[in-house]
Chain A
Amino acid sequence: MNFSWISSYWPLLVAGAVQTVLLLVISVVFGFILAIGLALAQIRGPRWLKWLARGYCTCLRGTPLLIQLWLLYYGVGSLLPLIPGLRSSFLWPVLREGFFFAAVSFTLNYAAYEAEVLRGALLAVPKGELEAGKSFGMSSWQLLRRIWLPRAIRIALPTIAGEIVLQLKATPLAFTVTVMDLYAVAYKVRQDTLLVYEPLLVVTVFYVFLTLLLTRAFKLVEAQVPVRR
């Protein structure tokens, strides 16, 4: 075991860790917002919206993330230059990057999985609590914001923690579209130094550490939720 490479590669490792965390945060935050919409569409939407949301979830959960990522990066990416004027616009430097495509595909994928979790949680909120809110004269928007959604999120907290960990474990795929995330750094170290196991090991320790951190954080959040026993 030889870890002397760390001394020269640590700035890259830190930069990779930042990219990994950034991808995770972006996909979880935006994915969650999208998931709320998808879940509500499946529960309360008009029929066409219901089917649309359900079809979206089925398609994104039924295909590998790697294919979705490549479809966006190589597929849509190859079509984008055909749009006139885009290449010279201010958006181009962003659209050229693998990071943009990774963030978008991870977000869309996370939303599909999270929507299913939220759908179940929204349906699990006791009817009486919603009726109580209604009888207080809350509008449906207020009801959603003050009772339905907060209660559903509390119910789903343990599952959400699990989904976020799964999302973290999916982020290394970004390396296949030239994102310099943590795994990509390990790959580069391997190519430079011909060490196979050491870089993988270091990176793995970081992922496991991040997982532990996430589960601990969620334990703390869950402890805030009042439970009647």
Chain B
Amino acid sequence: MSSTQSVLELLAPYPPGWGGVLLTGALSTVTISLGAYAFGILIGLVGALGKLTGSRPIVIGLDLYTTAVRAIPELILIVGLYYAGTDGINRLLLAAGLPPIEINGFVAAVAVLGIVQGAYMTEVLRGAILAIPVGQIEAAKAFGMRPWVRFRRIVLPALMPNALPGLANLWMSVTKDSALIAVVGYQELALATRLAAANTKHYFVFFLAAAFLYLGITLLSNMVFRALEFRFRRGQPKSA
């Protein structure tokens, strides 16, 4: 290790140090993850309801989607969807006689990770809905609740405790999967770290710092999910 720069100087938040770049990367990682997570929940809800109540072709299509996403390595999915997505949109534009557009890296990252998350979400939410005692939904029907009211008042609060452990796992996996976005070249924590390390040649320091940032995100998320679980399980018996 060269002694010209100390570790503290390297990680300083202002320009000669790279701390600011890393923190911006971490922020970008969290934003991408949040976006992809929200998008994934949306796909998952639609997918789960589609699988449970949809017609046969819908169920087959959704099965294909969830099986394919869960069987293919994440890196291949992300690279494939990234290129296929940007390429596909530009081809559509070309067919419509419009000039090609530069696709925003952030939107692409969120969309790609969201599609991956959506497949896992579908299964988690489907399981959670199935675990709701049928009588509760029948009671709601007997009270004359419309499907939307029933979903909002009965299904959603009842599925949350069942789904939370799975949802927590998926959040952890999306924060870590977002590192793969570095491979297609969008700057988040992993790529920022690589950049900082390559520039200063202090590889060990920077990757260790990045690992700590990711660990921090994970541990903080753990606390949030524990609090959420406590809240959603209020009124339930303590045991088991």
A residues neighboring B (CB under 8 Å): 58-59, 61-68, 70-71, 74-79, 82, 168-173, 175-176, 183, 196-197, 200, 203-204, 207-208, 211-212
**Looking at chain B, what size class is its interface with the partner chain?**
35 or more
Q: Given A59-B215, A64-B176, A64-B179, are A79 and B72 neighbors across the interface (CB < 8 Å)? A: no
Q: Determine whether the beta carbon of B190 is less than 8 Å from that of A67.
A: yes
B residues less than 8 Å from A68 (CB atoms): 211
Residue in chain A with minimal CB distance to B204 = A75
A residues less than 8 Å from B79 (CB atoms): 200
**Residue B194 at the chain A interface, CB threshold 8 Å:** yes
Given contacts A74-B197, A200-B79, 9 further A-B contacts (CB under 8 A): A61-B172, A62-B172, A62-B215, A63-B176, A70-B194, A170-B74, A183-B73, A197-B80, A204-B76
Minimum distance in angstroms from B20 CB to a CB of chain A: 19
5 interchain pairs, CB-CB under 8 A: A64-B178, A66-B179, A74-B203, A171-B73, A200-B76
**Residue B160 at the chain A interface, CB threshold 8 Å:** no
**Residue B89 at the chain A interface, CB threshold 8 Å:** no
Minimum distance in angstroms from A13 CB to a CB of chain B: 15
Minimum distance in angstroms from A60 CB to a CB of chain B: 10
Q: Determine whether the beta carbon of B203 is less than 8 Å from that of A207.
A: no
B residues neighboring A (CB under 8 Å): 1, 71-76, 79-80, 83-84, 87, 172, 175-180, 182-183, 190, 193-194, 197, 201, 203-208, 210-211, 214-215, 218-219
B residues less than 8 Å from A76 (CB atoms): 204
Q: Is the interface of B mostly helix, strand, loop or mixed?
A: helix
Q: Determine whether the beta carbon of A75 is less than 8 Å from that of B207.
A: yes
Q: Determine whether the beta carbon of A78 is less than 8 Å from that of B179.
A: no
Whole-angstrom distance between the alpha carbons of A75 and B175 in the complex? 22
Q: Given A62-B219, A66-B179, A77-B203, are A172 and B76 neighbors across the interface (CB < 8 Å)? A: yes
Minimum distance in angstroms from B9 CB to a CB of chain A: 18
The 4 closest A-B pairs by CB, nearest first: A75-B204, A62-B218, A71-B207, A64-B179
Question: Of B71, B83, B178, which is in contact with the most chain A CB atoms at under 10 Å from its CB?
Answer: B71
Whole-angstrom distance between the alpha carbons of A61 and B219 in the complex? 11
Q: Select which of B80, B87, B193, B201 is within 8 A of A67 by beta carbon.
A: B193
Q: Select which of A71, A77, A169, A197 is within 8 A of B208 by beta carbon.
A: A71
* Pair count A-B, CB < 8 A: 106
B residues less than 8 Å from A75 (CB atoms): 197, 203-208
Minimum distance in angstroms from B197 CB to a CB of chain A: 6
Residue in chain B with minimal CB distance to A210 = B71
Question: Of A67, A171, A196, which is in contact with the most chain B CB atoms at under 10 Å from its CB?
Answer: A67
Residue in chain A with minimal CB distance to B212 = A63
Whole-angstrom distance between the alpha carbons of A61 and B218 in the complex? 9
Residue in chain A with minimal CB distance to B217 = A62
Whole-angstrom distance between the alpha carbons of A196 and B90 in the complex? 15
Residue in chain B with minimal CB distance to A196 = B83
Whole-angstrom distance between the alpha carbons of A175 and B73 in the complex? 13
Q: Determine whether the beta carbon of B203 is less than 8 Å from that of A67.
A: no
Whole-angstrom distance between the alpha carbons of A40 and B87 in the complex? 51
Q: Determine whether the beta carbon of A169 is less than 8 Å from that of B73.
A: yes
Whole-angstrom distance between the alpha carbons of A64 and B29 in the complex? 12
B residues less than 8 Å from A70 (CB atoms): 190, 193-194, 203, 207
B residues less than 8 Å from A74 (CB atoms): 194, 197, 203-204, 207
B residues less than 8 Å from A79 (CB atoms): 1, 204
Q: Determine whether the beta carbon of B74 is less than 8 Å from that of A63.
A: no
Q: Determine whether the beta carbon of A66 is less than 8 Å from that of B80.
A: no
Residue in chain B with minimal CB distance to A187 = B79
Minimum distance in angstroms from A87 CB to a CB of chain B: 17
A residues less than 8 Å from B182 (CB atoms): 66
Minimum distance in angstroms from A112 CB to a CB of chain B: 12
